[in-house]
Structure 1
Amino acid sequence: MSASIPTGRRIAACLAVTACALSPALAQELTRLYAPKPPLGSAYVRVVDLARGGAPVAIGTAAAAPIPQGDTATIYRIVKGGAPLAVTIGGRPPAGDIVPAADAFSTIVVPASGPAVVIADPTEGRNDLKAQLRFYNLVPGCAGLLAVADGGPTVFEAVATNDTRQRAINPIEARLSAKCGEAAAPPLTLPPLKAGDHYSLFLMPGASGPVLTGQRDETEPYRGPAN
């Protein structure tokens, strides 16, 4: 009679075979679901440097690195929430205290002069069957508006300075236009978005008027001990 294989080993072998048979997308989703989770009280933060000078950005104890070319913000990094956070741009800290909320996402906006602003990024209304669109108005002194270009419907309106709005949308390709008061930014074409994607749009001050930029949201993987 052959020796029996322990149940745990049979399950592990079965899972290994199953993982090999999965498509890359499903395998990636399984990895995400079963990856170690950050401890309770963690905060997820990213930085926008309104000076846009390409200076290296350091968040907490992470090594300084420039914001990737073509992006407006760093990726979300995992730090301790509810406690002062060290941020430097080009080796210099911005004015003001930075205390990100625990168990929440935040975008830290560093102006060319003046204190940093922490904007809470709500996550209510998430729908993995749709794409998530988030809009920030970072232009001082005016209300921001985002619409589909060429007379299309309004997506967000009356967004105050240093505020954000979000909504779930069907995955589409579209050209978007933004205004700060009566000043219009050049239109921006959304990249192809699929269900579950998160995309941020930033209305920012520019040398000759407001500028609309965009990027996909990304959070660094947690590499600490399992929670």
Structure 2
Amino acid sequence: MYAPEPPADSAYVRIVNVTGALATARIGNKSYSVKNAASSPYLVIPQGSPKLSAGRTSQTLNVAAGHYYTVALTGTASAPKIVVFDDPTNTNRAKALIVLYNLSSRPGVNLKTADGKTAVIPGVVASRLGSRAVNGIKISLAAFQGTRPLATFKDVQLERSAAYSVVVTNKGAFWTRSTTSTR
């Protein structure tokens, strides 16, 4: 009825693509194809130091058991720049987790209510992330630089024990719900 639990030495890795084109990446023996302005599910991989290759770029990752990682591909799909984030985990099953990734060159971005009045995740500098656990709620949110909205996410339903991502780029922002795949 349920998928089997991953092995205890598993790490979870996903790809976020902001290269402007379809990107293909390989981590160990797992392959990802991710549309632009989208993310893959987290894939289960063994802890350790797998090789990551995307286009003409490659590097070794260091992934620990029980950790979640986002590998952001920026620049171009043929020779992407790779930014690796050790993602926060949702330790409170009664809350939803929102993570804001700043993949732009903007010095600081904020996630606020869509009207700009309430900060949810303030001041995330370039190539960093910020996060916050919140109650489950239906709400409209927006990514801001200062008082200028970059993108608005209308009527998003935040569900308890789920995780969501806002990815800010130089061209805007997009919203995803984080999921795990056991393939």
TM range (shorter): 0.7 to 0.9
CA separation of 1:64/1:200 partners in 2, compared to 1, >3 Å: closer, same or farther? closer
1:38 equivalent to 2:3? Answer no
How far 1:190 moved relative to its partner?
4.6
Q: Secondary structure at the match of 2:33?
A: coil
Amino acid across the alignment from 2:130: R
**Compared CA separation, residues 128 and 216, structure 1 to 2 (3 A):** same
SS at match of 1:115: strand
Deviation, 1:65, is 2.8
Which residue, 16, 39, 51 being the options, matches 1:48?
A: 16
1:51 Cα shift? 1.0
- Cα contact 1:86–1:93 (8 A) shared by 2: no
Decide which of 34, 39, 47 is 1:66's aligned counterpart.
34
Structure-1-length-normalised TM-score: 0.69
Tell me how far apart the structure 1 counterparts of residues 16 and 7 of structure 2 sit (CA, whole Å).
23
Consecutive unaligned residues of structure 1, counting only runs of 5 or more, are: 1-27, 223-227
2:64 is matched with which residue? 102
Shift of 1:205: 1.6
1:172 to 111, 130, 137: 137
Q: Deviations over 1:136-164 (max 9, x none)?
A: 11112411111001133101111111211
Cα–Cα, structure 1 residues 64 and 217, in superposed 2: closer, same or farther, change >3 Å? closer
Contact kept? 2:95, 2:135, Cα under 8 Å: yes
Q: Within 5 Å, give how 1:7-22 maps onto structure 2.
A: none
Question: Cα–Cα, structure 1 residues 44 and 93, in superposed 2: closer, same or farther, change >3 Å?
Answer: farther
Question: Equivalents in 1 of 2:153, 2:6: separation in Å?
Answer: 35
Identity value in percent: 25
Query: In structure 2, which of residues 46, 49, 63 is the aligned counterpart of residue 80 of structure 1?
Result: 46
2:86 is the alignment partner of 1:120: yes
How far, CA to CA, are the matches of 1:75 and 1:147 in structure 2? 25
Q: Residue 49 of structure 1 aligns to which amino acid in structure 2?
A: N
Question: What letter corresponds to residue 188 of structure 1 in structure 2?
Answer: F
- 1:134 paired with 2:99, answer yes
Unaligned residue ranges in structure 2 (runs of 5+): none
Most deviating of 147-156 and 181-190: 181-190
* Offset, 1:181: 4.8
Matched letter for residue 111 of structure 1: T
Distance 1:36 1:106 in 2: 18
Distance 1:46 1:137 in 2: 16
Tell me how far 1:132 sits from its aligned partner. 1.5
* Max Rg structure: 1
**C-alpha RMSD over aligned residues:** 2.4
Deviations 1:193-215 (A, max 9, x none): 32222111111121xxxx12111
Alpha-carbon deviations, 1:80-129, whole Å to 9, x = none?
333032232xxx2425x241321211111111156311111022x52111
Normalising by the residue count of structure 2, what TM-score does the alignment of the two structures yield? 0.84
* Displacement over 4 Å in runs of 4+: none
**Higher helix fraction: Structure 1 or Structure 2?**
1
With over 3 angstroms needed to count, the CA separation of the structure-2 counterparts of 1:37 and 1:84, relative to structure 1, is closer
Q: How does 1:144-159 map to 2 (within 5 A)?
A: 144-159=109-124
* Residue equivalent to 1:218: 179
Tell me how many residue pairs correspond in the alignment. 179
Q: Map Cα deviations across residues 45-98 of structure 1 (whole Å, 9 max, x no partner).
A: 11112113123443331244334x8x621111122333032232xxx2425x24
